[in-house]
Structure 1
Amino acid sequence: MTDLEYADRAEQLLRAVEQCADRINDATDADIDSQRSGGLITLVFANGSQIVINQQKPLHEIWMAARSGGYHYRFDGAAWQDTKGAGEFFAALSANASAQSGLSLNFQA
């Protein structure tokens, strides 16, 4: 993947996270505060817990930090997959956001 391809894919992912947070806020009582600064998004939940998602440009990765740990994702041509084989980014984000918020939340590309 070229730097330009990575930048496009990473931007699509970050935009999708922001749009999902907005959609979830409109449809539920989750009250997710989505804060973006460049290539970094912080999702803050009503209980004060956070999930941080950021670009790692030199590595062509997306990193996610949640209560359950830190995760690294690379685009495999179809989806952002965990570099240690733990699954797809949006599935992991949904699981972590659900655990941290206490609600069933669904983030998707």
Structure 2
Amino acid sequence: MNDREFNTLADAALKRVEGALERSGADLDYAMVSDGVLEIECSDGSKIIVNRHDAAQEIWVAARTGGFHYRWDGSCWQDTRHHEELMAALSRIVSQQAGETISLVG
């Protein structure tokens, strides 16, 4: 995939995450803090960063539980180690860090 295709897919994924956070009603603050970087802040002040990594053509997630890399497989963003889909993984990661059940899948 070329850079333009990657950016289009990754930006759409970040917008999808934003929309899912909005619909979740969870006690979270979130914002695009720069081009391709979404910051999610939990009520305890901890943060989760979801960003587009252009050089690797991946979406990276940084959270208390670790760092995760997601690569487009032709139909969805899959974790490069555990093959978990991005939105399902973010539901789990955000729920763990926020201390409440949050579903971003839908």
The TM-score with structure 1 as length reference comes to 0.90
Unmatched runs of 5 consecutive residues or more in structure 2: none
Sequence identity percentage: 40
Counterpart selection for 1:95 from 83, 92, 96: 92
Counterpart selection for 1:58 from 52, 55, 59: 55
1:17-76 per-residue CA deviation (whole Å, 9 max, x = no partner) reads 111111112xxxx22111212100010011112110011111110000011100011000
After TM superposition, what 4+ stretches of structure 1 lie above 2 angstroms from structure 2? none
The structure that is helix-richer by fraction is 1
Instruction: Specify the code of the residue in structure 1 equivalent to 2:13.
Output: L
Is it true that 1:35 corresponds to 2:36 in the alignment?
no
Q: Please say which of residues 40-49 and 81-90 is displaced more in the overlay.
A: 81-90
Q: Which residue of 2 aligns with 1:7?
A: 7
For 2:56 and 2:47, locate their aligned partners in 1 and report how far apart those are by CA, in whole Å: 24
Is it true that 1:23 corresponds to 2:23 in the alignment?
yes
Q: CA RMSD in A?
A: 1.3
Counterpart selection for 1:76 from 70, 73, 77: 73
Question: 1:39-50 maps to which residues of 2 (within 5 A)?
Answer: 39-50=36-47
- Cα deviation, residue 86, structure 1: 4.0
Contact 1:60–1:74, Cα closer than 8 Å, also in 2: yes
- Cα deviation, residue 94, structure 1: 0.3
